[in-house]
Amino acid sequence: MIQRLLREPLFHFLLLGALLFAAYAALNQGGFGARDEILVSTSQVEGLIMQFERVWQRPPTAEERQGLIDSWIRDEVFYREALAMGLEQGDPVVRRRMSQKVQFIVDSGAPAAPTEAELQAFLDEHADKYRVEPTYKLQQVYFDLSKRGADPEAAIVAARGALESGRAVAGDPTMLPARLAGDATEVARNFGDDFARSLRDMPIGTWQGPVRSGFGLHLVRIDSRDEGRPATLAEVRSDVERDLMHVRTQAANDAYYRRLRDKYVVRVEDDASPPAG
């Protein structure tokens, strides 16, 4: 009986399969039934507790602490299963989020702080961006066109003559300041950009106008004007340092992306599209 069984081809096939199975199991110990490890580290637990305290303004109870850990493990299990099932593929929200996380990691590697010489060189190269604005001391008399009829010119000419002769002219009621001392930005904030630009070449010490703003017409007298000039590094150091660091960070990010990009061959199946770059 046994000899006949040993001569059966089916027995040889089953025996060979058993031997192969045993060999594979020996070479891959822990492979069958093995599970991926999920480690909830001390720092991870501390982070969960910090998030809880930030929201609830108190430490969690022992039960709440365990609930935080269990919830984190639940999310991790589902996350790993989602990756195993390939659910992240083709999801634009997940794709964007993962891209943003890589970008965040890249951004966190900020370049070294620039030296004094580098800051000065950057300021010299972009001097127009950091100019000190002109400052003014001025007076203005306002005329509301909605109250002046079709031809306000006669009243404005008469008012200008009175002002030039030293007489006071009230003008029309307004919340606009009758006197202002400030830079061009403050003038523009009160009267508008066109009004501020008109002051650049206006004679000093005499009544001029009418000057138009978004509110109406004005007679204007500039009592003093300090012309704009290039800023010194001491005056704009924080702005220059911020902008230079931004430029360097962007350049480093672009270079890092190009290194990553060079690892791939990109083909776009669209005849109307330009070559991928």
Q: What is the pLDDT of residues 148-169, one digit of tens each?
A: 777 778 888 889 999 998 898 8
Q: Using only the alpha carbons of the chain, give its radius of gyration.
A: 38
Contact assessment for residue 60 and residue 52, using Cβ atoms and an 8 Å cutoff: yes
Same structural domain for residues 190 and 213? yes
Question: What sign has the CA pseudo-torsion 77, 83, 89, 92?
Answer: positive
Same structural domain for residues 156 and 171? yes
Q: Which of 207, 226, 245 is the last residue of a domain?
A: 226
Confidence of residue 118 (pLDDT cuts 50, 70, 90): very high
52 CA to centre of own chain: 28
Same structural domain for residues 110 and 51? no
Output the CA torsion 136→142→146→149 (10° steps): -120
Same structural domain for residues 150 and 219? yes
Same structural domain for residues 252 and 176? no
Same structural domain for residues 126 and 141? no
0.85 exceeded by pTM:
no
How many domains does the chain contain in total? 3
Percent of the chain scoring above 70 in pLDDT: 82
